[in-house]
Structure 1
Amino acid sequence: MTDRVVGQGGSSGGDQTGSFNRYPVAAAVLACMGVALLLRSLGAPWVFIDGDVMLDPWDGAYHARRAYYSFINFPSVLYFDAYLRFPDGAPVPFPPLYDWGVAAVARLFGDSEAVFTKVAAWVSPIFAMLTVLPVYALGRRVRGWQVGLIASALFAVFPASVMNTSIGDLDHHAAVAFLLALLIACGAALLEADVESHIRRSLLLAMVRAALVLSWTGSLLYVAVGEAALLLGGLFVGRKQLFLSQSLGLGVSALAIAPWVYAAGSPIGGPFSSTEMSWLHVTALLAAASVWAGLWWWQQQSEAGAPVDQFKRAGVLVAIVGIGGLLIPPVRNAITPGIAFVAKADTWAPLNAEQAPLFAWMQSGPAVGADFSLTMFGVFSLAIPLLPIIVAWPLLRSERRALHIVLFCWAVVLSVLALMQIRFCNDLAPVASVGFALAIDRARTFIASKSNGVVGVAVAGVGSLALLWPALQVHTPRMPLFSAYMSGERPNFDASLYNGDSALVRFAELIREVTPETSGYFEAGAEPEYSVMSLPSHGHVIHYAARRPTPANNFGPYLDAEKVEVVNAAYNASSEAKVVELLDSVRARYWMTSEAFWLREGTFIHFLHRGDGAQQSSFNGAQSLRLVAESLPGTRPTFASFPGGAPERITPYKLWERVEGALLLVQAKAGDRVRVELDVVTNTGRQFRYAAATRADARGVARLRVPYSTENRAQGKGAITHAASLYTVASASHRVSIAVGEPQVLKGATLFVELK
């Protein structure tokens, strides 16, 4: 059956009439969805390894931790996590719906950990695949099914989306992009709906809006942009029914999120936090509802004539509501942190790769990023500053100004955000796909008008492929390995060690294996016994894969700036005494050290990690820190550890235990140099010699504190690092061998050694 679609355009060429058969078009949309899913599945060889599922170790790891809690305790939600900012614990900064939804879907398929991890691995690709639908719908509404299909294809292949929504990555980016695309598409449909369907469409929009607020901490920004765009577009429509339905819809959104806000309690930023779900979100929704309600009431009292009259009324109402909100101190004070984050005016921004700008020339200070532009959108990236003009150009002639005003508002905000921080490229991808599809289709029709339709399609197609080529190069290197994996080929080595992200997960799993279990992982209210100090960027993977608390994590200073400073101070300390003091301040029994380009000579961590804590010229042997485990040979570090490429034969990760250390009081000749040595075998089978030395004082006593026990020497315990000999204590003229028990090391017992 063949339909005629009229009035889907409103472009510079007037309404576009496109003849299409719905079944081939539907098949093409499904094909775009298939491509979207395929490209986001290319990382499967690094996710599904030997029966294990290696989830992303970064922000997605905390989503996994929280979702797994709900999966085990369904339908409970983890609102306060004792494993965050240990020993204090903290309210979870993420809104609850996304994590709870992952748990709910996983429960449909079973109740085992294997089921959960498999479902979690596919969440992002599925969301990205579904995002093709609102992208197509928005493109079709703007200028017909051709633009819808082009936009769907662009979204499917843009690395800006693919890189943030790949298999194994449980971060919220895919869900946010899906809800945002749905929000824009529903808003556009509402503005062009007939009077009878306003309420129905407003309620649908209300549910999408509420889902976005309940899924992402930064939702307040998008709610503000969305309502501003709809208000500007709605003033051109000027229907009382639209004003009323929008007011009711915003009220429904506020009512939908209020119970979740109440259940979550007060967030870190206070009850009106702008960077976490809070009562500020409820207040903002009700404030927006009051503006729409005011417009409806005013229109009831006297009909406004031209749109300029509507704008005047809206300006008065927005000013009243806005000024009223700013007069409330908690509301006014809560807005500042959100602005600081978007403007990158905080201390964390220069160190966070997600907050690097799109173009290298925009970087300033110690920026960590490179030029990401061609990686994200291909050559189309160069046109991102022009994107608002591309979508707004039809405003000059179109009678559908409301639709293009909405697109223009979103294009302006998302383009600026993406230029400032690459994390927003993922959210820009749906709107950019529609905008660039609109430009491609205009080029096609222009060329066709000068020659014929076939030439127009050919030139536009080849040109688009050329502009996309740098972006496509992101995908092609991974295809041979993916093809081999799908055909059943498997490497003859542990593939999880070859990939930096999965190798980090493996080490976190090792931490869980070699350390005592801690309380409270699944039991709300229980207090863990100790924490593991690590780089803040490794905190989330320790929460999920190691199931251990950390004092600082990937939330950075937004969660607890003081504890981030404690961790940073430990990594920069120049003495063991200072490190031990910092570990004790956050009850950290273990310290995970990492090999990285920033390790500096003269710091204690440099001596400890690279020298195994054995005596060197500038450091004596470690007294209160002993090696528990190290990463396996061949383990690759993460890209962030060595952006320029990692050196050969390094050990990316080591785990150290904080112990009191047994105190050896060695009786020797006054002034004699006394040295203690111990052969140590690590969990990987590597052997090194621990050593420490000092001189006997005037009374002939040398004091040496040692961190290793010799009790497990005979058993040859392989799971953790262990002694391979007795301690040798020697001076210039005497030598003895001694045993040191585990209780003596843990309690700091004193042992007397006679060398005379």
Structure 2
Amino acid sequence: MTGEEKKNKLINSLSYFIGVIASFLVAFYIRTIPKAGVFISENFVRFGGNDPWYHLRNVENILHNFPDMLWFDAYTQFPNGTEQVFAPLFDMILAFILWIIGLGDPSQSLIHTFSAYYPTILGALVVIPTYFAGKWLYDRRVGLLSAILVAIAPGQFLSRSMIGFNDHHIAETLFSTIVAALLIIAIVKARQHNISFENLKNKNFSEFKQAIPYFIFTGIALGLYTLSWKGALFFSFIIGVYITIQHIIDHLHGRSTDYLAIGGITIFFVTLIMVLITPELGGSKSLNIKGLLGGILAFPILTGISIALKNKDLKRYYYPFAVAAFFIAGIGLARLFSPSAYQLVTNVGGYFMRTGGALTIAEASPLLNMGGQFSFAPLWFNFGTLALISFLALAFLAYKSTKENTPERTFLIIWSIMVIWAMLQQNRFAYYYSVNASLLSAFIGIKILDFAGWQTLTDNFREKLHSSKEKLNFGSFLKNNLGIWHIIAFVIVILVLIVPTANETMNQTRGVGGPQGQWIEGLQWLEYNTPDPGLDYYESYEIPEDGSYDYPDEAYGVMSWWDYGHWIEVIGHRIPNANPFQQGIGGRRGSINDEAMPGASTFFTAPSEEKATEVLEEIHPDPDKAGARYVVSDAQMATGKFYAMAAWTLDTKDYYVQVQTQQGQQRVPGERYYNSMEARLHIFDGDGLEQYRMVHETRPGNSPERGYKQVYNVLHGGNLELQDTGFVKIFEYVEGAKVQGTAPEDTKVTISVPIRTSQGRTFEYSQTTTSDGTYSFTVPYSTEGPIQGETQFDTMPTEPYTISYNNVTEQVSVTERDVLDGNTVEVQ
């Protein structure tokens, strides 16, 4: 290549390089737009969602015990603790970068700030492998347009790479896209060179030098992907399906399949080594090992079958049947020798499908399901116009492949179909398909431009630019060569592919998720006003042999809905009973006839205080201890999220009923709902409960609470004040003081006391009983205030309890020690 040719090649490459860098910068900028909602104060960074908080937990723990990973966490799922649920690489990379930047001792401010930006960097980096995938599938123009489209992609891909959403999902997308891009390059290289067992046998490695490195790099990338997500067998499965189908296609076309076996073995072997040297993968290490070994064994067998049929000169169409027989035999052997592998294979069609309470997990619901109703709206939300365009492109490529097959484009088709299959089961996988949608839509976009003559126009421009000795007049060139069809095609691509997608993306950058201000305030109060649970938050815990941690006597749990478990742990530095790993939820998984397991769902849906307390006592293996000391509720748990609690028990009947109103039939809370423990706590402020007292509430927030109270007053004869109370309420489970006295037989006796909350709101707590000559109440509130070393409550009575019957009124004071120890207080 002459110096002039090198110069021209560099100039051509430079324009695409600039385009990819610009796409990266645009992607990064979009993801940082709502940063004001993340950095809400000098001392607090609000991470989005739930799992990002646990990744922060992991990173902080790694840095305190560098370089050890938090393989077991006793600070969640009380009273058991839990082994690490996440694969380690996402957090290890972040911790290592922070360790370097912080010179071995990064400050908390640096940890939180960089962690918030981490997903935006990974999200922006996706444009690079997307460009190379498009380039090697088609050409640089498709690659560049793909990079532009994925940079401005909305939906799940955007939200999971937004500033503050520090979760492993974006690492899944980045590493899987790198895997795909490298595999495409490896396939192209293998097609251009003779990668065969014959050359391997004869030690003729010259042909291997061009392709095998890319297969090795693909294996490394697949290993990085596998170490970032416990479910990473998904992409290994995609590669396995592709290699199987490509075997069939190549055999039917009379081509060698050696390169598929050699490449597949190389990829899976490299990944297997990386998996084997990793201590754990969130509980999926064994499954990944089995899957990778299965591929390493299957790929050469598929090629062996092809060679055997060719040697016997049998008809080519026998091969698919032979492959089917091989897999059927494999399934039969799995049934005999590996039930877990057999179950995995037989359930693969619905591998990601959830049922029962798991359907209430937002990211796990089917894509085309909005509030239980079929809808195409999620397609627009996630992909804009690229949804329809990419589906059309996929159908066209699938049709074209029947006549003109290229292995790398076959991979694109299979890769895309498999991701569609996954996201139809769980909408979270839409963040994968954003890459596929960009590649497929870019192919259509460039086809439109080429149809209008843009390829010829750009070729002419390059030719004149390189051949002209004088400086080329760009304006003059366009005036003489740019036609109306060029302009129309360009405008179509901009208006159809880019503008609607960009508009949808910008609409989705207006806010961030994460804990509301009330949750932040409430959990900070919990940290500083409740007893220390007796564990070092940053400890590197040993994995217990029996799977259950040996907690100190002073340890206790905090009961709340599982959504909030990581917030309680990381913000409040307290130990939740349930968490977003769906641990500690309780309820049922199989049938309504199953016995309900103790946990958050059974506690909050319990029909009485007695039943709820039984749940707390069942949670802890020690019969003398309860599973939780504090209960944290919010207005969403009492309203919109209550149905999810019931769904996890598989018993949702009669919590909500249909009633006729002036606006027609409406679904409103029923009597069963108002008898539930959650309603007793949040809607009724714990009024009348014997062992649960409110110790703190935050300011109110927007919720349907007022409407729920109105329904209770109208339909159930209530007299609740129609107001929104504290959005987050913290209750303490106590022994309760026994207040005893005498009164005439068959007399109605009431004990009551006004309670002033931390927000200055006042409500009345009361109980009523009928005397048999004596009466007894168990009451949870102290009238004397908190004591050192115990809960420093700021919600309490404003005066002594008043006991009234007939025309008699008596007052009695109850100390905090009486309440905590269950002492008896005699009314004189």
Q: TM-score, normalising length from structure 1?
A: 0.83
Which one of the candidate residues 23, 45, 51 is aligned to 1:53? 45
Indicate how the Cα distance of structure 1 residues 474 and 302 shifts in structure 2: closer, same or farther if over 3 A, else same: closer
Amino acid corresponding to residue 102 of structure 1 in structure 2: L
1:90 & 1:71 partners in 2: Cα distance?
Answer: 20
Amino acid corresponding to residue 225 of structure 1 in structure 2: I
Alpha-carbon shift at residue 610 of structure 1 (Å) = 1.7
Indicate how the Cα distance of structure 1 residues 654 and 351 shifts in structure 2: closer, same or farther if over 3 A, else same: same
Is the CA contact 1:214–1:277 (under 8 Å) kept in the aligned structure 2? no
Superposed CA offset, 1:482-521 (max 9, x none): 9xxxxxxxxxxxxx9x976565444333332333232263
Aligned residue runs from structure 1 range 583-594, under 5 A = 583-586=616-619, 587-594=627-634
Residue 635 of structure 2 corresponds to residue 595 of structure 1:
yes
Is the CA contact 2:584–2:600 (under 8 Å) kept in the aligned structure 1? no
Which one of the candidate residues 216, 222, 233 is aligned to 1:220? 233
Amino acid corresponding to residue 807 of structure 2 in structure 1: S
SS in 1 for 2:377: coil
Aligned residue runs from structure 1 range 114-513, under 5 A = 114-160=109-155, 161-193=157-189, 194=193, 195-233=208-246, 236=250, 238=256, 240=258, 243-260=261-278, 263-264=279-280, 276-294=283-301, 321=330, 323-332=332-341, 334-335=343-344, 339=348, 342=351, 344-360=353-369, 366=372, 371-383=377-389, 385-395=391-401, 398=404, 401-448=406-453, 455-456=485-486, 458-466=488-496, 471-477=501-507, 501=516, 503-513=518-528
Indicate how the Cα distance of structure 1 residues 369 and 203 shifts in structure 2: closer, same or farther if over 3 A, else same: same
Which one of the candidate residues 568, 571, 574 is aligned to 1:548? 574
Query: Mind listing any 5+ residue stretches in structure 1 that lack a counterpart?
Result: 7-17, 268-275, 483-495, 615-620, 642-646
Residue 731 of structure 2 corresponds to residue 663 of structure 1:
no
- What's 1:487 paired with? none
1:340 & 1:610 partners in 2: Cα distance?
Answer: 43
- What's 1:654 paired with? 729
Amino acid corresponding to residue 731 of structure 1 in structure 2: Y
Which one of the candidate residues 734, 755, 761 is aligned to 1:686? 761
Indicate how the Cα distance of structure 1 residues 337 and 246 shifts in structure 2: closer, same or farther if over 3 A, else same: closer
Alpha-carbon shift at residue 692 of structure 1 (Å) = 2.2
Is the CA contact 1:136–1:148 (under 8 Å) kept in the aligned structure 2? yes
Alpha-carbon shift at residue 166 of structure 1 (Å) = 0.9
Alpha-carbon shift at residue 554 of structure 1 (Å) = 1.9
1:662 & 1:48 partners in 2: Cα distance?
Answer: 45
Larger Rg belongs to: 2
- What's 1:10 paired with? none
Amino acid corresponding to residue 675 of structure 1 in structure 2: T
Is the CA contact 1:66–1:78 (under 8 Å) kept in the aligned structure 2? yes
1:298 & 1:245 partners in 2: Cα distance?
Answer: 17
Alpha-carbon shift at residue 470 of structure 1 (Å) = 5.1
SS in 2 for 1:43: helix
Indicate how the Cα distance of structure 1 residues 508 and 222 shifts in structure 2: closer, same or farther if over 3 A, else same: farther
Indicate how the Cα distance of structure 1 residues 574 and 336 shifts in structure 2: closer, same or farther if over 3 A, else same: farther
Amino acid corresponding to residue 618 of structure 2 in structure 1: S
Is the CA contact 1:503–1:635 (under 8 Å) kept in the aligned structure 2? no
2:824 & 2:159 partners in 1: Cα distance?
Answer: 56
Which one of the candidate residues 586, 608, 621 is aligned to 2:681? 608
Amino acid corresponding to residue 577 of structure 2 in structure 1: P
SS in 1 for 2:98: helix
1:302 & 1:605 partners in 2: Cα distance?
Answer: 67
- What's 1:740 paired with? 814
1:199 & 1:626 partners in 2: Cα distance?
Answer: 67
Is the CA contact 1:94–1:277 (under 8 Å) kept in the aligned structure 2? no
Amino acid corresponding to residue 696 of structure 2 in structure 1: A
- What's 2:690 paired with? 623
Residue 547 of structure 2 corresponds to residue 517 of structure 1:
no
Is the CA contact 1:374–1:470 (under 8 Å) kept in the aligned structure 2? no
2:586 & 2:90 partners in 1: Cα distance?
Answer: 23
Which one of the candidate residues 536, 547, 550 is aligned to 2:562? 536
- What's 1:112 paired with? 107
Is the CA contact 1:97–1:215 (under 8 Å) kept in the aligned structure 2? yes
Amino acid corresponding to residue 207 of structure 1 in structure 2: I
Amino acid corresponding to residue 188 of structure 2 in structure 1: E
1:631 & 1:264 partners in 2: Cα distance?
Answer: 40
Is the CA contact 1:500–1:637 (under 8 Å) kept in the aligned structure 2? no
Which one of the candidate residues 17, 25, 36 is aligned to 1:26? 17
1:685 & 1:337 partners in 2: Cα distance?
Answer: 60
2:325 & 2:703 partners in 1: Cα distance?
Answer: 60
Q: TM-score, normalising length from structure 2?
A: 0.76
Is the CA contact 1:155–1:433 (under 8 Å) kept in the aligned structure 2? yes
Is the CA contact 2:633–2:682 (under 8 Å) kept in the aligned structure 1? yes
Alpha-carbon shift at residue 660 of structure 1 (Å) = 0.8
2:357 & 2:289 partners in 1: Cα distance?
Answer: 28
Alpha-carbon shift at residue 163 of structure 1 (Å) = 1.7
SS in 2 for 1:348: helix
Residue 695 of structure 2 corresponds to residue 703 of structure 1:
no
Greater Cα offset, 728-737 or 37-46: 728-737
1:666 & 1:674 partners in 2: Cα distance?
Answer: 10
SS in 2 for 1:244: helix
Amino acid corresponding to residue 219 of structure 1 in structure 2: A
- What's 1:570 paired with? 603
- What's 2:465 paired with? none
Indicate how the Cα distance of structure 1 residues 127 and 308 shifts in structure 2: closer, same or farther if over 3 A, else same: farther
SS in 1 for 2:165: coil
Aligned residue runs from structure 1 range 93-104, under 5 A = 93-104=85-96
* Fraction of identical pairs, as percent: 23
Indicate how the Cα distance of structure 1 residues 248 and 351 shifts in structure 2: closer, same or farther if over 3 A, else same: same
Is the CA contact 1:3–1:20 (under 8 Å) kept in the aligned structure 2? no
Which one of the candidate residues 740, 747, 750 is aligned to 2:824? 750
Is the CA contact 2:587–2:597 (under 8 Å) kept in the aligned structure 1? yes
Is the CA contact 2:739–2:826 (under 8 Å) kept in the aligned structure 1? yes
Indicate how the Cα distance of structure 1 residues 241 and 332 shifts in structure 2: closer, same or farther if over 3 A, else same: closer
Is the CA contact 2:390–2:440 (under 8 Å) kept in the aligned structure 1? no
- What's 1:71 paired with? 63
1:340 & 1:680 partners in 2: Cα distance?
Answer: 56
Is the CA contact 1:677–1:691 (under 8 Å) kept in the aligned structure 2? yes
Amino acid corresponding to residue 562 of structure 2 in structure 1: P
Q: How many residues were matched structurally?
A: 697
Alpha-carbon shift at residue 313 of structure 1 (Å) = 7.5
Indicate how the Cα distance of structure 1 residues 85 and 539 shifts in structure 2: closer, same or farther if over 3 A, else same: same
Superposed CA offset, 1:624-657 (max 9, x none): 001122223447799xx9xxxxx98453321111
Amino acid corresponding to residue 694 of structure 2 in structure 1: L
Is the CA contact 2:86–2:229 (under 8 Å) kept in the aligned structure 1? yes
Alpha-carbon shift at residue 605 of structure 1 (Å) = 2.0
Indicate how the Cα distance of structure 1 residues 199 and 463 shifts in structure 2: closer, same or farther if over 3 A, else same: closer
Is the CA contact 2:47–2:514 (under 8 Å) kept in the aligned structure 1? no
Is the CA contact 1:121–1:167 (under 8 Å) kept in the aligned structure 2? yes
Is the CA contact 2:48–2:514 (under 8 Å) kept in the aligned structure 1? no
Superposed CA offset, 1:178-219 (max 9, x none): 011111111101111143133311221111111111111221
2:485 & 2:598 partners in 1: Cα distance?
Answer: 62
Alpha-carbon shift at residue 292 of structure 1 (Å) = 3.2
Alpha-carbon shift at residue 36 of structure 1 (Å) = 1.0
Superposed CA offset, 1:696-748 (max 9, x none): 22x2x121111011232799x98632333222333333333332111110111
Q: How much is the aligned-residue C-alpha RMSD, in angstroms?
A: 3.7
2:487 & 2:587 partners in 1: Cα distance?
Answer: 55
